[in-house]
Structure 1
Amino acid sequence: MDLPQAPSGFKILMFPWLAHGHIIPYLELSKRLLSRNNFHFYICSTAINISSIESFIKGNNLGDSIEAVELKLEPSVQLPPPYHTTKNLPLHLIPTLLKAFQTTRSSFSDIVDTLNPDLIIYDLFQPWAPKLAASRGIPAVHFYIAGAATRSYGYHLHNNYFPELQLNDYEKMSLGEKIKLINAVFEEGETFSDNLELSTEVVLLKTSWSFEGKYINYFSDSCNKKILPTGPLVTDANSSSDENSDILQWLSKKDHHSTVYISFGSEYFLSGEEVEAIAKGLELCEVNFIWVLRFPLGEETKTIEETLPLGFLERVKERGVVTGWAPQAKILQHPGIGAFLSHCGWSSIMESMYFGVPIIGMPMKAIMLIDANMLVGCGVSLRIPRKDNEGYIGEDIATVMSDVIFGKSGERLRRRAEELSEKMRMEEVEEMDIVANQLWKICLENRP
């Protein structure tokens, strides 16, 4: 493997999971660290993700400091190369990709031996990565791209330390099944806990003290590691050139805080029943809205019109936009937005809090349920009710949206979200300085 050598300074190999929502935080962390210390970064991922990584590098003029390195994942009938990423991947293939990811050990080992980095920063689904690093005498630091509440939950599950995070029996069972499913793809003796235990001195979390301070402290005490928040790592909205977007022009004609932004991230795809429930809720409550509706690979021929209830677009044309893509950061910082109806994915939460927008929680997966509860406890969200394994219903969606946009609850939530936004912005520079200094110290202490 012929890879370029870094200039003087420390070489750091970043190893995120094969998801857009993981890769971008690793790139953002790299970019911010570069402004503080003489690091050189290598971002390791599969071929299908390399183009977006290189686009980020080029867009931020970081070609001399960050390089993409291809991780080899053998194609199969189930997982041809376009499926070597979670972006747009059908949900039923996520476990298959996770299992295939475990076979990249040999490829990753070759990359490590070729680069001989001073530090490896690794993600959640490869507990073997820090073991490999240790066998080469290379320090490794775990960077978890979600928050402290979800990590704390596992430690206090049996003693109810944070009542606001508690799940009902059905939700606990769902979370337990997911954890068992993931642990089953690891080799015997490997578990999630290895990521923490093998991390050198510190663990990095994509969060802020002002947002999750009590959870950070609890998590640190529980795992006996120094937990360092990186800050929200929100991409600069001003770096994109969509000021003249039709959506933004449409939004500018709406009253302040009158519009709900609706998006479920790049990796969750609504079922037909969920689409119908949201559409019904929007018709019942009559809020303005921008709805991002995406489809997985293999369903690109679907159209928004045929997916939505018959006549829906015509009935809401004066107060709603449904689109396959929208400039999310630009929209969230627009004064016309009053709330973000979200699945409570962590990157969406961080963006919403950073721009001071309250969240209407519609969590779809187990970990998101924990974060949705945390947001309610934090005073920045209302959660749409749901009974066990039953789906969401339009009437409940309408009630919560109406309360947040038209009711007093919305005013309270927005004040709290704006307060948190101000604190997060004040803290982020200092938080990144601390992370940069700690990583530099680890590299310096381990250099021969």
Structure 2
Amino acid sequence: MNKAQAQLVFVPIPVMGHLVSTVEVAKLLLTRDHRLSITVLVLELPLTNSKVQNYVESVQDSSSTLSNRLRFIDLPKDGSELFDLSSFFERQKPNVKDAVLKITQSESSVDSPRLAGFVLDMFCTPMIDVANEFGVPSYFFCTSGAAFLGFVLYEQKIHDEAEFDAIQFKDSDTELLVPCLINPFPARSTPSAMLNKERLPYLRNAARRFREAKGIIVNTFLELESHAIESFETPPLYPVGPILNVELDGRNSHQEIMQWLDDQPVASVVFLCFGSMGSFGEDQLKEIACALEHSGHRFLWSIRRPPPPGKQAFPTDYEDPQEVLPEGFLERTAAVGKVIGWAPQVAILAHPAVGGFVSHCGWNSVLESIWFGVPIATWPMYAEQQFNAFEMVTELGLAVEIKMDYRNDSGVIVNCNEIERGIRSLMEHDSKKMKKVKEMSEKSRRALMDGGSSYCCLGRLIKNFMDDLT
């Protein structure tokens, strides 16, 4: 066996949806091959909250078996009050370079690991310049699916070749023929991330830089996105997912919620949760409440207070949800429903009482629902979620639709009848769709087992890392 020791530098975006899956990839690599060491550089965004630091500390406390080979370095705080991704990462380049210099200098002995490459978050593309300075390859880690990655590359390519602009089609009935998709893609479902005039140029430039990478690691698996994965030529894809932390939310810290679920029949509860940034105004909450009450289904509903208008902040919990719900709603539904604030999503999806998930379709949430075999009703809000909703409903046939083209900044109110129809379709699902979800759940677990598609792909990735040292 090659006795060389390889050091990898990971640069994630420090938001929970990206950081957790990045760290899980790191742990997976370290568990698989003892020759690898990984240093995670932790940047601090203006919106970075205490959850990020708490999570990093919890990983350090719980990863004793990997502690010698997995370490975290906090980079200096960015003092600028102005924030956009491009300027932020440009300003952070010197800090990343200094940190990596210290790593290489402290590990300069013959037996120390040698720097083998950078693994960069899909939004950290400027850091490829730092990797180039050290003369090592860059790999990107895509926390979204392979089809969305393909769509980003497609949009950039046709923009550069034919001056295509995704923004001009956002309200049209145009359908796009995208190589990574089997079905025509409705332009109305173009993801919110690609409809922002300030951010779209950055996303396009990121797509151009993806093509410079030695490879792209994707949080997906071959059996889920075979067409999208096989549509790629360069750079090579490494689908190594589903990358999940299924132990992130324990029963013990949310006993009241878990006890309530324990008292419900199997597969009887619809769970509504819209991610760490998901929240609705009072009018929309009332429509959801109306739909839940009329549907008659048992429910567990996570609601969050939106941040003040114009302020960049995370939603918070209501002290008293009754203030924004229809009068008497909590009393009338007390026997069948429970309204909560922040939700321990993994623990809830893992519970046998949960039979359906009304979700914003963040990619981590999609993978968690598949892992636990819980069908989804789609209600996307921001980022790439509209694309994920289309993929789940139309492309893969693993979800039902409440809305596929909803955007949380649109001002649109989805009415009670539309929501109720979606909930009934979800909870009174046909056996064919349920069987398909359960089969994909089994495939997601097999992909990670010895001999599975993701297991083998991870092996090829490690071989590349080690070959880069020779």
Length-normalised TM-score, structure 1 = 0.84
Counterpart of 2:397, as a letter, is: G
Amino acid at match of 2:68: D
Paired residues, what number? 415
| Number of the residue aligned with 2:10 | 14
Task: Confirm whether residue 348 of structure 1 aligns to residue 346 of structure 2.
Answer: no
| 2:402 aligned with 1:380 | no
- Structure 1 contact 127–194 (Cα < 8 Å) conserved: no
2:160 is matched with none
Paired residue for 2:285?
275
1:332 aligns with 2:349: yes
Shift of the alpha carbon at 1:106? Answer: 1.9
Mapped to 1, the partners of 2:29 and 2:345 lie a distance apart of: 25
Aligned positions of 1:21-420 closer than 5 A: 21-38=17-34, 39-46=36-43, 48=50, 49-61=52-64, 62-76=66-80, 96=84, 99-116=87-104, 117-155=115-153, 158-161=176-179, 162=181, 164=183, 166-168=185-187, 170-172=188-190, 174=192, 176-178=194-196, 180-184=197-201, 191-200=205-214, 202-218=215-231, 220-221=232-233, 224-237=234-247, 240-242=250-252, 245-295=255-305, 296=307, 297=313, 300=316, 302-303=318-319, 304-365=321-382, 367-377=384-394, 378-385=396-403, 389=410, 390-406=412-428, 409-420=429-440
Which structure has the highest helix share of the two?
Answer: 1
- Measure the CA separation in 2 of the matches of 1:145 and 1:8: 29
The residue type paired with residue 26 of structure 2 is: S
Deviation for aligned residue 1:395: 1.3
Kept after mapping to 1: 8 A contact 2:192/2:386 = no
3-state secondary structure, aligned to 1:447: coil
| C-alpha separation in 2, matches of 1:174 and 1:436 | 31
What is the CA-CA distance between 1:101 and the residue it aligns to? Answer: 4.5
**What is the rounded CA distance, in whole Å, between the counterparts of 2:293 and 2:283 in structure 1?**
15
| 1:61-97 alpha-carbon deviations (Å, 9 max, x no partner) | 332221111122323557xxxxxxxxxxxxxxxx656
User: Percent identity over the alignment?
Assistant: 24
In structure 2, relative to structure 1, the CA distance for the partners of 1:273 and 1:64 (3 Å cut) is farther
1:350 match: secondary structure = helix
3-state SS of 1:103 partner: helix
Kindly indicate whether the alpha-carbon contact (under 8 Å) linking 1:120 and 1:133 is maintained by their aligned counterparts in 2.
Answer: yes
State the Cα RMSD in Å.
2.8
Call closer, same or farther: CA 1:175–1:326 in 2, change over 3 Å.
Answer: closer
Pair 370,77 (structure 1): closer, same or farther in 2 beyond 3 Å: closer
Cα pair 2:191 2:383 within 8 Å, conserved = no
**Kindly tell me: are residues 280 and 96 of structure 1, through their superposed partners in 2, closer, same or farther at Cα, counting changes over 3 Å?**
farther
After TM superposition, give the deviation of residue 410 of structure 1 in Å.
4.4
1:371-402 per-residue CA deviation (whole Å, 9 max, x = no partner) reads 11111131211111477753322211111101
CA 1:298 to 1:415, structure 2 compared with 1: closer, same or farther past 3 Å?
closer
Q: Say whether the 8 Å CA contact 2:303–2:317 is kept in structure 1.
A: no
Matched position secondary structure for 1:339: strand
**SS of the counterpart of 1:181?**
coil
Cα gap change, 1:299 to 1:147, in 2 (>3 Å): closer
- Comparing both chains, which one has the higher relative contact order based on Cα–Cα distances under 8 Å and sequence gaps of 6 or more? 1
Indicate conservation of the 8 Å contact 1:254/1:336, yes or no.
yes
Q: Give the secondary-structure state (helix, strand or coil) at the position aligned to 2:400.
A: strand
3-state secondary structure, aligned to 1:210: coil
The question of whether the paired residues in 2 share the 8 Å contact of 1:36 and 1:433 is answered with: no
TM-superposed CA distance for 1:246, in Å, is 1.9
Give the C-alpha shift of residue 433 in structure 1.
Answer: 3.5
Q: Which residue of 2 aligns with 1:424?
A: 444
Contact 1:142 1:195 in 2 (8 A): no
CA distance in 2: counterparts of 1:384 and 1:300, whole angstroms: 25
* Native 8 Å contact 1:242 1:327 kept in 2: no
Q: Relative to 1, partners in 2 of residues 1:204 and 1:277: Cα closer, same or farther, differing over 3 Å?
A: same
